[in-house]
A and B are shown apart, each in its own frame.
Chain A
């Protein structure tokens, strides 16, 4: 059996929405080069709060690239609130699964989206509960899926 599902490999080989948005309304970066993965997510949000465009840059393994790509697809065209509801599980499911030791990549993807939305809120002066935007500690992140 291959390490990754066909969907993961498809998103790794042909990542959707790679790049930057120079006039982004929100930019979020999560992860840590020391641990081997960083995701940066750019969102463009219209007056209705709809994410009209979304791009990413990722340093990381195959599943880090694939989960970033899938996350952009899942939030594009959605409202900011809906984007905040995106769970790592939804990303994993959309990719037809990930190996257990790669689950942390999906958590990073979820958190990259949240970080971009948080940045958007900050720029717009929209109030939020900081508790909702906590990032998982690097050590914790890599323990995911181990149990």
Chain B
């Protein structure tokens, strides 16, 4: 059986999105900047896509900028707010310890340029506390950037409360909503979000297209210079087909959100319930504040990469936060941020399911994972020591 359970990494392109984009690759391939009607046909599709995207997050079409993906949108949002702040002498940026690297690495670069960065704790449950944010805010805070939902452990942040606090303090709030868009309701007005990043391929659009929402009044700095596309804020001929597909996929995902969620949650909960029966396992992140499809667990005494390779042999696509899968010395910064010891974090498994998965596939995962865990534990000197009591169990 082949089971794709890595939807937080990327998703398949839906038939709706594919059908929507094909005409803009074939018959209507004109450049939207061209004057003639053939080009204008593409420009119209672009305008329509912008309206659609705006509608589904309760924004105005003029507040939507298409980018190459979530990373570019995050980069542009953060750099823009930082530059804007610097002009007013504000050079303090607030974020959390478990943001995506598109955010953390951008902040690290700004730190080298003389900005000060405060990374908030996300506690054991993977949820940022409002009082921590309030305490971190300073008169020179130029930006608060906090993700909507974490990409590894799926915990959802109190976005509306964060937005409210930031608005009251007059601080721009950027939200990396890459894992939430198309899966959870987003209302930039109600949530007081000033900037927001989305990535099409996380909700069944193709890779290479994303969205930056920037509230009117937010002055954007360009990351890519060139032509006057995207109201002069993002140069480069528009990825018309990709943008059309993104809008179609977002519409489809949002229109079916309730039904999708109702389908995904029982599958996710079954995974949690059954895989938790594996001794010395642990669910990572609060289940109370959680995206529908993400399951992140640790199994003591084994290492994530070998777990993934074994699952791959069984036809299951999953991911892990072990050091060996990242190619670095340390396991995932997300797992460390919620207080997991290195030894435990190395044995993590992320399964992220979507509406295309079936209960039959979930049952197959539930049948396979315990076998693989037992096999690897039988080979593991760490597990041997844990079982003999020579090493204390940490979970």
- A residues adjacent to B (C-beta < 8 A): 9, 12-13, 15, 18, 20, 29, 33-40, 57-65, 101-102, 138-139, 142
Contacts and interface: CB of A to CB of B under 8 A. Distances in A.
Contacts of A61: 303-306, 322, 324-325
B306 A36 contact: no
Interface residues of B, number: 27
B379 A65 contact: yes
B339 to A, nearest CB: 15
A134 to B, nearest CB: 20
Given A36-B303, A139-B329, A57 B342 contact: no
B99 to A, nearest CB: 23
A142 B391 CA distance: 24
Contacts of A139: 329
Given A62-B305, A65-B306, A36 B331 contact: yes
Interface in B373-395: 379-384, 391
Given A33-B346, A36-B322, A59 B382 contact: yes
A9 B310 CA distance: 10
B379 A142 contact: no
B306 A38 contact: no
A59 B300 CA distance: 11
List the 10 closest A-B pairs by CB distance, nearest first. A61-B324, A61-B305, A40-B381, A59-B380, A59-B382, A33-B343, A57-B381, A36-B346, A34-B342, A142-B329
A60 B303 contact: yes
B331 A58 contact: no
B302 interface: yes
A35 B342 contact: yes
B327 A101 contact: yes
Contacts of A142: 328-329
Contacts of A35: 323, 329, 342
B379 A15 contact: yes
Contacts of B301: 59
A34 B309 contact: no
B329 A58 contact: no
A74 to B, nearest CB: 19
Given A13-B313, A18-B379, A62 B306 contact: yes
B346 A58 contact: no
A108 B68 CA distance: 42
Interface in B292-326: 301-306, 309, 313, 322-325
B329 A37 contact: no
A62 B379 CA distance: 12
Contacts of A13: 313
Nearest to B380: A59
Contacts of A34: 341-343
A62 to B, nearest CB: 5
Given A36-B322, A57-B384, A139-B329, A12 B343 contact: no
Given A62-B324, A64-B303, A142-B328, 16 more contacts: A20-B384, A29-B381, A33-B346, A34-B341, A35-B342, A36-B346, A37-B324, A39-B381, A59-B379, A61-B304, A61-B305, A61-B306, A61-B322, A64-B306, A64-B324, A101-B327
